[in-house]
Structures are given as C-alpha cells and as structure tokens.
A and B are shown apart, each in its own frame.
Chain A
C-alpha cells in the first residue's frame, strides 16, 4: 500500500524505507501503514520470528481461585487444574506519550522531529492494534494537550491519528506535569511509550520519570533527535534563536561544535544512567533512521521484558542488565 505519488524505496542496506521518502507521504495513516507493512515484510529476516506482543497466561489453581476461570479443556485433557486469565487482564494496555513542545518542530532533514515522532507513534499503534491491544495517546508540551484513552474498538485508531496531527505548540519541554497527569489517568499497569527529544535539564526529567516508573508501568522512551542536533551540523555562523525560549545568541558552529557534542553526550549519559536506574528502556532515534529500526528496538525491548517473569521484571529494574542505546 504505497502512496501513488510517492514511491517508497527500501533502504539499500537493511531493506527499510528511507524516512526522507516515507515522510513525503502527507497522510499520517498511510505513512504508518507503509511503515508497518515494511516492518512485517522485513521481519522474515528477523531473528525474533514467532514472537507475540502478549500471550495468555496459565497458572496452577490455588485454593480460593474462582472455579469459573478453570480451563476445562486442559483439565479434561490432562486432568490438571490451571487457571486461565481473562483477556482483559492479559491484553496489553499501551499509552503513547508524544511531546508536542516547540523544540519538536525543528528539523533539517526535510521534516520535523514532530512529524517523525507522530509517524512513529502511529506506526506503533498500527502495530499493536491488530493484536488486540488497547492503545491510548497523550500529547503534551508544558502541559497535557490531548488525551485519548486506551481502547480497542473500531475507529479508535482514527481518533489517535487525528490527535497526532496537531501542530507543535507550547514553549518548553516539561515532562513533569504531563507524566503526573498520566499517572493519575492510567490506573492499570501497562506499557507507556514516551516519544520526546528530552531536551530539558536532567533534574526535571528525573522528577518526571521516577513516579512513572514507580507506578508499576513498563516504560520505553524514544529520544528523537535531528541529525543537526546530534552533531551541530550547521556550517554558517549566525544568530541562533532558541525555538522554545526565543533567546538569541551568536553561534559559530565550527567553534562551538566540540563543546556542544560534549555537553550533549554528557546529557545523554545522564539520561541513560537515570533510565537504567529506573528500569526504563531508552532508545535514541535519529530522525534520519528508518522507522522500522525503532520497531525492532521496541520489540526487542518487549522480548527481553517478556523473558522475565512479571514479578521478576519489577525486581530487575534496578539491578537489571544495561539497556544499550541503539544509536
């Protein structure tokens, strides 16, 4: 299902669609479908074949369990008592948190970080929805802009897409208030995917992410960065205007590049350390990278989580293995 006006081409190395090409598709839904289809087609070469997002769980019957939930077929076949969990309980409830702050409207690759983030969120939604998972959406800048509760019903995806097509606004990236609000809204534990550039001081980020992780949710963070942000790839000295604060400074990129990269790396290291401590999966995504790689990161993260028992996963947040950035 490719757009007739654009001929999405596969990336030479991995066979993925170039984001530059993908972003030419104006329709977000179409863009997400193309990305998901590309992902499925590439999955044949994936080492994670046959893996599902969530699976039904059985556990031995214990005294006090409701006999209505006994799996009678298993009892009849093996004469063993197993309790089958409800689908409601077993289906994934995923909330996509998309940053709409002004810094997300920056982009040098022909599209902005926000367009990339929205496509990523839509792709994830398209990925999860057919599996019966409930997908919700929260958009925010310095406050919550839009909330779409996690549902699994027809037409829900369209609501998500409409909410995702909002333009960037607000002034600053302030995760504290939106995440606190999400903790209040999402009572049931589930998956929370945060898509942001995380261009905010480390302390507010820590104050924001800690309650989210502490509330029992499984959290995956995609840090979306433009290539120019990663290496300050601007050639001419000029007056640089901060998109969020409006501050203007004279910057000579050639002179400031080394210092910038050092400070950006320090910031990234601090966030990585924070996420590792909180048991949060962090993936830095350059907007020049194909979306499929993000999906792979997502699924690999899920797989690693899935290998761990639920109760162990919670314990393993602190001493758990380091989650390497894919960047």
Chain B
C-alpha cells in the first residue's frame, strides 16, 4: 500500500495523547466534598505504575480512531502495475505555435519567435513528436505531427527551418483563443493516450491585447497539456492606429456638399507620444496630398477626427505619422463616388410629351452623390450605328416602343453579352419585339383594361430591384394604381422570374436571363395613362435600383478587414458571368466558379472585382484590434484554462508524472472513504462502550 499524502501519517503520533490520559490516575468525574481545603494543596497528576492502563479497551478504540483518521487523510492506495511501456512513456509531444499576425511585424518579434521555435525543436529528443503551427485568424500547420514522424530524425530540423524561413507574419488579426483550442486538440489527438509523458504547447506570441482570448473561456482544456510561453522581446514602442468609422458622404444626396471621412485615432496605453499627423496620401507613401491634420491623442485614449475635403480622385490612402510602429499606419478608404451611368431610351415620343414614359424618366434620373445618370433617347429613325454606339456606352437600355426585327436581334446579342435591358409593354404590338429579344418565335400580349384599377402584389423584395423597399416602412405599394396593362403569359418565357404581379395574378415585372445579360419586362407603362407609378415616391428609387442592377454596385459595403471574404456584387449573376479579382499587389485572380465569396484577402489595400464592363472596388484594411499592441500578462492566458507553464521541466517531469498517476489510481480506489467510515463506526462504538463503563462505575459507587 502506498500513500498519496504520507505526511498525514504523522497524525498517528496523536495516539500518545489517549495513552497518556489513560496512564494518568485521575478520576476527574468523581467529586468528594470536604469541609475546607485550606490545608490542602492540589496534587499533581500521577502516573500509575507501568502496565496499569485504565480502561484498556477504550484506550485501544480511541487509538484506533486516531490511526484510521490519520491513514484516511494520508490518502492510501494500492499501486497498480504500469500499463504503458516505459520507453514509450518517456517521449513528449510538442507543438510550437507561432503568432503570424500583423502585430508580429514589429521589430525583431518574428525572428525571435522563429529562433525560439528552432531552439525548442532542437531540444526535442528523437522519440518526441513535434509540430509547428502558425496562426492569425486561422491556424495553419507548417510542419504537422505526421510529417515530423515521416521525416528521418536528421532532416526534421532542416525541414522545420525551411518552413519557418518561408513563412512570414501576415496582415490578419489575432485569434489566439481559437488557435490554442485547435492546437490543444491536435496535441491531445493521438492514438495512444499513454504514449507520451508530456504534452506541451510552446506559444510564441506578442500577447497583444487584441488577441481575442474569449474562445478559451468556453473551451474545455484537455488535461495533461501544458502551455509554455517563452519570453519574446516585445517592443515597448509608442503605437497609434487608424480606424475608419463611417463615411459622412454616404448619407448625403448633395454632390456639392463637403464630404469628410470620419476616422478614429487610438493611442495605446503607455505610448510616449501624443502628437500625430493624419492626411491623405497617394500611391507614393510619404508624400501628403494636401495638408495633414494635426491630432493630439493622450496615451490610452482615442479621438475621432474628420478628414476632408477629399483629395484628388484616385486617392484612397490615409496615413498616420508620429508613432513608432508603421505597420498599422495606413488606412485605405473608398468613398462612393458619383458614377456616370448612361441610359439609352429607345422610343419615338418627344421629350416634352408629358403623357409618355420618356418625360418622367428624364426628370427622375437626376445626379446624386453616387450616380450621374445621362439619358440618351433614340427613335426608330435613328440609324443602327448610332444606336450601337450609344448602346455600347449605356449601362441600361429601355425599350419603350416596338423595335424593328433586325434591331431587336442586335439588341438580343447585346443582352447575351451581358447588357441589361428593360422593356416597357405599352401596347400589344410590343409582343413581337419581346419575342425577338427572348429568342422566341412569337409572344402574344393581351390588353387588359382595369376597372377601376389594379395594384401590385406578390412583390419579390429579395430581388435587387425591390430590395430597397424591403423595409416595412417603404414596402407599401398599394397607393400605386394601374389602369391598364398587357397580359403576358409567363409560360411563354421559360425560366423567367416573376418579380411582381398584379393583384389578379398576371405578371407585372418579369426578369429573364438571356446569355450573360438580363431582360426585365414591365407589362405596363409608368406614364399616367397606364398607371400612377411615375408619379409615386417609389419611382425614382426603383430607377436607381435598375441602374445599380445593370451597372453593379449599390449600397453594398466598401470597407473590409484583412481575412474577410469579399462578397459577390449584388448585380452579378452567379454562373453566368466570369469574375476576377485584382489584388492590391496587382495580381489578377479568377473568382472561383459558383462561389458567393472570395476569401483570399491577405493584404490591406484596394481590391477590384471585375466582370466585363462592371468594376467594383473594395477597401481592405488591417483589423483595428490588431493595433492594440499592449501586452497582456501571461497569467491572463493561464486564468482561462491552460495550466501554468512549468519552470523546471526536465528534472521534475518524471516525478510529476508518477504523482499524477498515483493521484489517478487513488482517485479511482478512494480507500480513504472506507477508513473514515471505519473511524466513524469506531467512534460510535467507543461512545457506547464508554457510556456503559460510566454507568457501571456509578452503580458500583452507589
């Protein structure tokens, strides 16, 4: 039998107390009255002669209680034979986890981390298993356990060094909690749980405050895995950072209004600097465009500043000067700019005819902060070259009257090439033109007079055309009356998507894909003889939705962080278009087929997504949390779960392993419970026995 806490056995020395008490010839319970004690002095307790114990049975019981309690506290257990082979149990399983986030670009952090990693790997014995991981937002293995095992022992260090030299810190933010959890699982995930005497993670990180440790709080740290944090030369330099807050111009509809950019400048605690400069810069870093703004931010605080007016077009780089860490001093800002959108109107009516659609279209397409719409109207008499030239430049083509067959065929080719065309069915004769555009032989339309009116229903607010009205505050179309429309049998247009219907069930808006482009059909007109649509408040937003749909863009986010996935533009038609992404470094990468997102934003800068004439630019910046470079104490990481790093591993590890195994065996056997139960039973029996002895003595005394 062995004991987990043998020092408690010293408690058995307490049996001396009952032995002494039983040797004392002192009957404290018996009292004798005496007239006066003035001539008496207390007699010191006197030992009886040897072997003259009083109440030997009680003495034995009391000693037994003390011995049982002391033995119980000493946590006895019956040792078991070791289950694993001793040779295998001497091996370790090590994982080196390097922080490759943007903050590791500071000073000598990365080279020190690599040196520490190599030193750790050199200390591994041939029987050990080791792996090297890097992490920022995600964990990537540089050298997995399997590769380590597969390599000859002499090549392992060389392979690890080569992988480390090839790696470098990226621009992503740090998610240390996720990384630790993933690597801990990888370290714990071995076929034989008893094969390693030690499992350890060597974490090489700058422990910056923005490391996102919260994932550790919910993670059940596997037992037996220790975490070591070798010290790195963390620079204590002044660092300030830039963060884009919001673009004040986004809400402005006045293109002439000043359009400042709102920025937050944060100065890290402990920073020795307070004065900074913020301003626009061009592609040549270091040269200000215009005058920079002087900002004073005390250490540990942040300030919001407005930067503006905007520099010359094309400038999208905001820089900060005045701190000592340049890695987070550049911010890429893209503001929505008024984009010229050309609209080609194919109709024969005069511009001043207030009863016709053109009149309302011209007046609705005014210049805004984001759009600069230019309407060009051509009648049937216009020659094909002019139409073709205008159509090339147009983002949207509106067909208001029936077209000649040849012109309709040409337009169909344009749609197939990716253009967006809207057809207004103002008369039943437009059926031939529609059939030509859709590649059908014939489509019949039927004039439907409505008495007194019909309304739109079943509007698909998920379609980009109606998406701006999806909010319940704007989704009320019941005040727009339609006096007449042309019935189009949707079965005549296979694959078409009905975006809105009249309350009688006939289609009002239909979208049909033609080649790479799309054809939108409104089975009525927006002019007053057909409906109240042009006079309603919904008309102008709907037109701009059409423009956004045709040209791409809209109210989609422009600012992203490194590591974020870039979304496909809303106007794109997945599967029908070929998209590519131009990264800030100039590389052009194809958009994966069928993917809704592109997730390879590995560097900050301006990314351009392009498909045909559609260009969309997105700004990708460093995550603001990555700029919070103040180091958190190592104890903060330990508090969230990983056991404290052990200082002296080599000497004490075997002892600890044995102790841990002993504790596990003792925890299973729980012999102490039986001992304490026996002690309690003995106490009860002793009480009964003592009570009986007292009663007997009283009877004898009386």
Contacts and interface: CB of A to CB of B under 8 A. Distances in A.
Contacts, number: 90
A241 B28 contact: no
A256 B25 CA distance: 15
The dominant DSSP class at the A interface is mixed
18 contacts: A199-B36, A226-B35, A232-B40, A234-B34, A239-B29, A240-B37, A241-B31, A241-B33, A242-B36, A243-B36, A244-B36, A249-B42, A250-B43, A251-B34, A255-B46, A256-B43, A263-B39, A267-B39
A236 B37 contact: no
Interface of A: 103-104, 106, 113, 197, 199, 201, 226, 229, 232, 234, 236-245, 247-252, 255-256, 259-260, 263-264, 267
Given A237-B27, A238-B27, A252 B43 contact: yes
Which secondary structure characterizes the binding site on chain B?
Answer: loop
Contacts of B26: 237, 250
A246 to B, nearest CB: 10
Contacts of B46: 237, 252, 255
A256 B41 contact: yes
Given A234-B32, A248-B31, A199 B38 contact: yes
B82 interface: no
Contacts of A256: 40-41, 43
A175 B37 CA distance: 18
A173 to B, nearest CB: 8
A242 B43 contact: no
A60 to B, nearest CB: 53
Nearest to B43: A252
Contacts of A259: 39-41
A85 B181 CA distance: 128
Contacts of A245: 37
B45 interface: yes
B259 to A, nearest CB: 101
Contacts of A241: 31-34
Interface of B: 25-43, 45-46
A114 to B, nearest CB: 11
A241 B40 CA distance: 11
Given A250-B45, A252-B46, A240 B32 contact: yes
B30 A201 contact: no
Contact of B37 (A197, A237, A242, A252): A242
A239 B35 contact: no
Contacts of A260: 39-40
Contact of B33 (A104, A236, A243, A252): A243
B42 A251 contact: yes
A236 B40 contact: no
A239 B40 contact: no
A141 B377 CA distance: 140
Contacts of B37: 240, 242, 245, 247, 249, 251
Contacts of A238: 27, 30-32
Contact of B30 (A239, A247, A267): A239
Contacts of A113: 35
A303 B269 CA distance: 116
Contacts of A247: 37
A105 to B, nearest CB: 8
B42 A236 contact: no
Contact of A197 (B27, B30, B35, B45): B35
Contact of B35 (A237, A243, A248): A243
